[in-house]
């Protein structure tokens, strides 16, 4: 199996002259991924992709995504601004989040975003008030908590009744009626999201069934068909095999909705994929500082830490590690960073080509929730993000 990174000798040679740690984004793979999504959404009428910007906002990455014609799903004023700067049309931006500040609501209204995904009645009232003071009408969609579990890590499950997100399904009639009576609110959609890194399509079938039930019920109770259904994101990637499966199975994903979700005539279906769009195209490149033989273990100590990629420490996440500059026989190490926290571990008892000081290692599938979640703990610099265009 060809290794998409390691076998690119010219690229690895260029990496040697760049200060580590840094993120590298394979924009050729990104473009292929975007095309694969487009091929599928084009097959179905009324399907629209809003890239979940929270996964990665590196400007070059955003610019490839906007050029592919995608909209954006934002969760903060900062993300809205980053999208506007990258050239996303405001009319294709949707804005979610349980705690929108007044200035963020104002920014959304001023820019003319497509709609707000509203998560509570107090938020709806404030959006109505702010829109009124600006003499505008805010388009709103309600984020509904479908109480559907997802087979994923507990920290990234969002659609259960116990989670802080969304409004209960039972309250929908009340909330829609409230919105219909508000002068500065236009009710335009229903929004859902059940979690992240979901690989079992059954979860999306369950969500489709819940949406069907809700739509049937709303119709029975005399409510008009809503313009948009937004099913959020959540499609996972193959972290174990980034070279075998660099592009997620978008066909299975979109076909699941096409088969199970009963859209009403003219109804538009919105998606907010983040991870599936960008995870596989990004790698964190780091350098081995020391190989330390301890009593029971051998450690590869690298110059990237949990400040650069927090997923292993926070979610026990697996990222494949390649030694880009060694073909020596494999050895077993704990790969750890320099941060003063015992959770600063990328992998335990991990087999990689025998490693020595100065070797370059890649933590693969790190394009989503990698660079964007970096911190400056220990007064460290934030890692830079480069694309092929920057390097070659």
Q: Supply 227's token pair.
A: 């313009």
When CB distances to ligand LLP are compared, the closest residue is 233
Any bridge partners for residue 95, and if so which? Answer: 74, 116
Minimum CB distance to ligand LLP, residue 52 (Å): 3
Strands 321-323 and 360-363, sheet pairing: antiparallel
Report CA-CA distances (Å) from 322 to 118, 191, 247, 350, 355. Answer: 43, 39, 19, 10, 10
- Nearest CB to ligand LLP, comparing residues 21 and 159: 159
* Count of Cβ atoms closer than 10 Å to residue 208 Cβ: 21
Q: How far is the CB of 38 from ligand LLP (least distance, A)?
A: 17
Task: Determine contact, residues 184/268, Cβ cutoff 8 Å.
Answer: no
Which tokens sit at 303? 């110059």
Helix extents (H) in 42-187: 59-67, 77-86, 102-111, 121-133, 172-180
Q: Are 170 and 122 in contact (CB under 8 A)?
A: no
CB of 331 to ligand LLP, least distance (A): 29
Strand partners, 167: 144
CB of 325 to ligand LLP, least distance (A): 28
Cα distance between residue 369 and residue 353, in whole Å:
27
**What does the binding site for ligand LLP look like in residue numbers (CB under 6 A)?**
52, 55, 73, 96, 156, 158, 193, 196-197, 232-235, 272-276, 311, 315, 368-369
**Closest approach of ligand LLP to the CB of residue 73, in Å:** 5
Nearer to ligand LLP, 93 or 301 (CB): 93
Nearest residue (CB) to ligand LLP, 234 versus 383: 234
Comparison of 32 and 153: residue with beta carbon closer to ligand LLP = 153
Rounded distance, CA 96 to CA 108, Å? 11
Q: With respect to ligand LLP, which residue has the nearer C-beta, 21 or 233?
A: 233
Question: Given the complex with ligand LLP, which of 157 and 184 has the nearer CB atom?
Answer: 157
Name, in order, each residue with C-beta under 8 angstroms of 294's C-beta and a sequence gap of 6 or more: none
Please, which residue, 21 or 370, has the CB nearer to ligand LLP?
Answer: 370
How many Å apart are CA 385 and CA 122, to the nearest integer? 39
| Closest distance of CB 368 from ligand LLP, Å | 6
Smallest gap from residue 2 Cβ to ligand LLP (A): 27
């Amino acid at each position: 199996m060809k290794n998409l990174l390691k076998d690119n000798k010219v690229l690895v040679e260029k990496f040697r002259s760049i200060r580590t740690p840094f993120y590298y984004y394979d924009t050729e793979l990104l473009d292929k991924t975007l095309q694969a999504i487009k091929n599928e959404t084009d097959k179905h009428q009324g399907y629209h992709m809003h890239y979940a910007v929270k996964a990665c906002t590196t400007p070059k990455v955003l610019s490839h995504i906007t050029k592919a014609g995608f909209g954006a799903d934002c969760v903060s004023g900062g993300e809205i601004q980053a999208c506007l700067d990258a050239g996303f049309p405001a009319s294709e931006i949707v804005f979610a989040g349980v705690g929108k500040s007044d200035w963020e609501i104002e920014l959304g209204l001023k820019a003319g975003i497509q709609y707000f995904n509203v998560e509570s009645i107090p938020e709806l009232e404030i959006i109505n008030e702010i829109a009124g003071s600006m003499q505008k009408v805010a388009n709103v969609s309600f984020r509904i908590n479908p109480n559907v579990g997802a087979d994923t890590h507990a920290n990234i499950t969002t659609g259960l009744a116990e989670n802080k997100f969304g409004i209960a399904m039972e309250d929908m009639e009340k909330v829609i009626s409230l919105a219909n009576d508000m002068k500065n609110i236009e009710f335009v959609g229903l929004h859902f999201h059940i979690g992240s890194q979901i690989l079992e399509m059954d979860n999306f079938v369950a969500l489709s069934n819940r949406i069907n039930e809700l739509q049937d019920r709303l119709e029975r109770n005399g409510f008009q068909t809503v313009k948009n259904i937004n099913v959020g994101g959540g499609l996972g990637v193959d972290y174990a095999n980034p070279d075998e499966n660099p592009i997620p199975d978008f066909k299975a994903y979109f076909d699941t909705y096409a088969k199970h979700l009963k859209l009403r005539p003219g109804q538009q279906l919105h998606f907010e994929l983040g991870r599936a769009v960008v995870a596989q195209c990004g790698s964190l490149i780091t350098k081995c500082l020391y190989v330390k033989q301890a009593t029971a273990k051998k450690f590869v100590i690298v110059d990237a830490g949990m400040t650069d990629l927090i997923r292993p420490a926070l979610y026990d996440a697996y990222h494949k590690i390649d030694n880009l500059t060694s073909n020596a026989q494999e050895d077993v190490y704990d790969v750890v960073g320099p941060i003063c926290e015992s959770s600063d571990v990328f992998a335990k008892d991990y087999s990689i080509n025998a490693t020595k000081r100065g070797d370059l290692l890649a933590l693969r599938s790190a394009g989503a929730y990698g660079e964007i979640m970096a911190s400056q703990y220990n007064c460290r610099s934030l890692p830079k993000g480069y694309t092929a265009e920057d390097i070659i």
